Amino acid sequence: MKGWSHSGMGRTRLASGENAAAYDRLVHVPVVLQVAATPNSPALVLRPWCMEDVAALVEVCRDPALRHRTSSPVENDADGARWVQAQQRGWATGDRFGFAVLEEQPGPAGAQLVGNVVLKDVTSGKPAAEVGYWTAAHARGKGVAPRALEALTGWAFDTFAADGLKRLGLLHQVDNPASCRVAQKSRYDFDRVLPAAPPSFPRDGHLHIRRTDA
Ligand SMILES: CC(C)(COP(=O)(O)OP(=O)(O)OC[C@H]1O[C@@H](n2cnc3c(N)ncnc32)[C@H](O)[C@@H]1OP(=O)(O)O)[C@@H](O)C(=O)NCCC(=O)NCCS
């Protein structure tokens, strides 16, 4: 989202020993997370963004509600390619892990892009990082964001707890009740109101937090 960063972390300090090996695996072995189907929704697959996603990404980003909430507008293929490359750099540097969320479709259509979840501001040895997400307009209201966020959260704690990660923050503006619902449904407890910081951030925000033991 456009907004605050509660963690204020810079680039990842490279981990050492076993942790360095774990970070190295993240760069070289693509992480794929599976989310089981529900009675009302197909299964989801989360995997790192790739250049083949650009056309679908550009299509999804035509949605004004999504543009309103994202800081890097994607209006054409060149923007889309830059955005995907930024996600790929995040995996390479080990401080930002963005996943395309795909919905399994029956038949030859294959999987369809329905969203994005991201773990960001990851720094070796630091206890806090942050999550973000969006869902394509055509897929909203079916629990895509909370289901994908649950998978991301489990993966984040499984992967980085040994390196000191203890809590994840989720921020949204006060005029985004849908995002507040995602936080509640995903057991990110409301922590506090963050004051507006105009002109960039005209509205107050909510900080929600989920801890490893939640
Ligand atoms: C916020 C957002 C990620 C929710 O994703 P989602 O996959 O639709 O999540 P859910 O299906 O759990 O719906 C969450 C809430 O959205 C609202 N909602 C339901 N159907 C909706 C629809 N068709 N369109 C928009 N919002 C809808 C409801 O309030 C719902 O809460 P409820 O389940 O208690 O009724 C999505 O609306 C979105 O991407 N918005 C634009 C970008 C954004 O705000 N990102 C978050 C920035 S912090």
Q: What is the DSSP letter of 197?
A: B
Q: Is residue 183's pLDDT more than 90?
A: yes
DSSP 153-182: HHHHHHHHGGGT--EEEEEEETT-HHHHHH
When pLDDT is averaged across residues 164-172 and rounded to a whole number, the result is 96
pLDDT of residue 164: 95
Which atom of ligand 1 approaches the CA of 134 most closely? Answer: 39
**Mean pLDDT of the 102-121 span:** 91
Give the model's pLDDT for residue 16: 60
Q: How confident is the model at residue 10 (pLDDT cuts 50, 70, 90)?
A: very low
Residue 97 C-alpha to ligand 1 middle, in angstroms?
Answer: 22
Mean pLDDT of the chain: 89
The model's pLDDT over 45-75, given as tens digits with 9 standing for 90+, comes to 999 999 999 999 999 999 999 998 888 889 9
Structure tokens at 206: 């909510």
What mean pLDDT is predicted for residues 93-113? 91
- Write down the residue that tokens 């499984």 correspond to: 158
Q: Given pLDDT bands bounded at 50, 70 and 90, which one contains residue 151?
A: very high
Dihedral pair phi/psi, residue 191, rounded to 5°: -110, -55
Share of the chain above pLDDT 70, in %: 86
Could you identify the atom of ligand 1 that is nearest to the CA of residue 170? 48
Q: Which residue is closest in CA terms to ligand 1's atom 28?
A: 178
Whether the CB of 1 sits within 6 Å of ligand 1: yes
Q: Identify the residue whose C-alpha is closest to ligand 1 atom 45.
A: 134
For range 146-157, the mean pLDDT: 98
Q: Return the closest-CA partner of residue 7 out of 126, 125, 147.
A: 126
Report which protein residue has its CA nearest ligand 1's atom 5: 145
Q: pTM of the full predicted structure?
A: 0.91
Question: Which residue has the CA at smallest separation from atom 29 of ligand 1?
Answer: 178
Is the CB of 2 inside a 6 Å radius of any atom of ligand 1? no
Q: Whose CA is nearest to atom 18 of ligand 1?
A: 141
Say what the pLDDT of residue 176 is: 95
Q: Is 167 close to ligand 1, i.e. is its CB under 6 Å away?
A: no
**C-alpha span between 64 and 127 (Å, rounded):** 35
Going by pLDDT thresholds of 50, 70 and 90, the confidence category of residue 173 is very high
* Domains of the chain with CATH codes: 17-166 (3.40.630.30)
Say if CB 156 and CB 212 are below 8 A apart.
Answer: no
